[in-house]
Amino acid sequence: MKIRFVTEGGINEYWEGAKRQDCDLLVFGFEGLGEVDYRRELTGETSKLEDLAILSREAGCTVVAGCVTDSRGVRRKSAAVAEKGKILGVADMLHVTDPSEFKGGAHLKVYETAAGKLGVCVGEDLFFPSVCESLALFDADVIVSVFGAAEDFVPQLMARACAFCSGVNVCMCASGVAQIASPDGEMRMRAAKKEVDFEFSPAREYRLTTVRTRGLARKVREDY
C-alpha cells in the first residue's frame, strides 16, 4: 500500500497536481476540508464534499480528509472518505473532553475501499485505545488517524500504543507531521513535511492469548 500524506493545506490547494496520483490512499489533515456546514452543502451554497468526491475520481485513489462539520449548530471533528467520485461516509470523533466546543459522534465504521479496509480514528479518539481495538475487531487492514497539532510526544506514543494493542498499522496525519506506527509498537516512518509518500505492506499479525480465571465452572447435576 502506498500512502500520500498532505499535512498542510486543503484539497483546493492540492487540486492542480491531482490528475492521477501514484498512490493507493491520499490523506489530508483537518485543513483538508476545513469547515463543512451540512445545511449549506445540501442547499448548494458550498460544495466541499462534492469537491472531495471529484478529487478521488481524478486522482484515481481513496481519499480521506479531515474537517469540522456543523449540523444545525452542533460541531464535530470529522473525517470524510471518498473513492471513485463518491462519498463513502463521514466519521466523527467519539470522545470529547470538557470543556470543548465540539460534540461527540455516535459510531465507528470500517470502510471497504480499493486500498483495503480502512478504519478511521478522528482527533483525540487516538487517546482511547478501545477505538483502535474496535476498528481492528471490525476487520480493518489499516487505521487512519486524522489528528490536529501533535505538539508533544503524546500523540506519537499513543499511535504506537494503539498499533501495538490492536495489531494494526496506525497511519497518522497531523498538522505538519505524518507518521506510521507498526503492530510491533515501532515507528515505521515519521516526517515533518507538507507532503510525504510512504509504501508498506499492511500485513496482519495474530497471537493466541489465553487467560486463567476462577469460576465459570458448573457442577454436574446428578438429577439430569
pLDDT in tens, 106-141: 999 999 999 999 999 999 999 999 999 999 999 999
DSSP 8-state symbol, 18:
-
Residue 211's identity, in one-letter code, is: V
Mean pLDDT of 142-167: 94
What are the cell numbers at 223? 438429577
* CB 166, CB 135: distance < 8 Å: yes
The DSSP output letter for 15 is G
- The alpha-carbon radius of gyration of the chain (Å, integer) is 19
- What's the pLDDT at 220? 66
DSSP sequence for 181-194: E-TTS-EEEEE-SS
User: Is 209 inside any structural domain?
Assistant: no
Residue 206 phi/psi, 5° resolution?
-125, 145
Angle in degrees, CA 77, 82, 86, rounded to 5: 125
Do the domain assignments include residue 218? no
Packing angle, helices 154-166 and 129-137, rounded to 10:
30
Separation of alpha carbons 120 and 45, rounded Å: 28
CA distance 144 to 122: 8
pLDDT above 70 for 213: yes
Residue 39 lies in a domain: yes
Q: Give me the number of domains the chain comprises.
A: 1
Q: What percent of the chain has pLDDT over 70?
A: 95
Q: Inform me whether the pLDDT recorded for 152 exceeds 90.
A: no
Local confidence band at 19 (pLDDT 50, 70, 90 cut-offs): low
Read off φ and ψ for residue 212, nearest 5 degrees.
-90, 130
140 is in which domain, residue-wise?
2-199
Strands 187-191, 195-199: parallel, antiparallel or unpaired by DSSP? unpaired
Does residue 149 fall inside a structural domain?
A: yes
**pLDDT for position 20:** 63
105-114, 120-129, 184-193, 209-218: which range is least confident on average?
A: 209-218
Is the residue at 79 inside a domain? Answer: yes
Question: Among 16-30, 78-92, 122-136, which is the least confidently predicted range?
Answer: 16-30
Q: Identify the DSSP state of 153.
A: S
* Cis upstream peptide for 99 (omega within 30°): yes
111 is a domain residue: yes
Identify whether 215 is part of a domain: no
Asked if the structure places residue 221 within a domain, the reply is no
Cα–Cα distances in Å, from 199 out to 22, 112, 138? 11, 20, 24
- The CATH number of residue 118's host domain is 3.60.110.10
User: Is the pLDDT score of 17 beyond 70?
Assistant: no
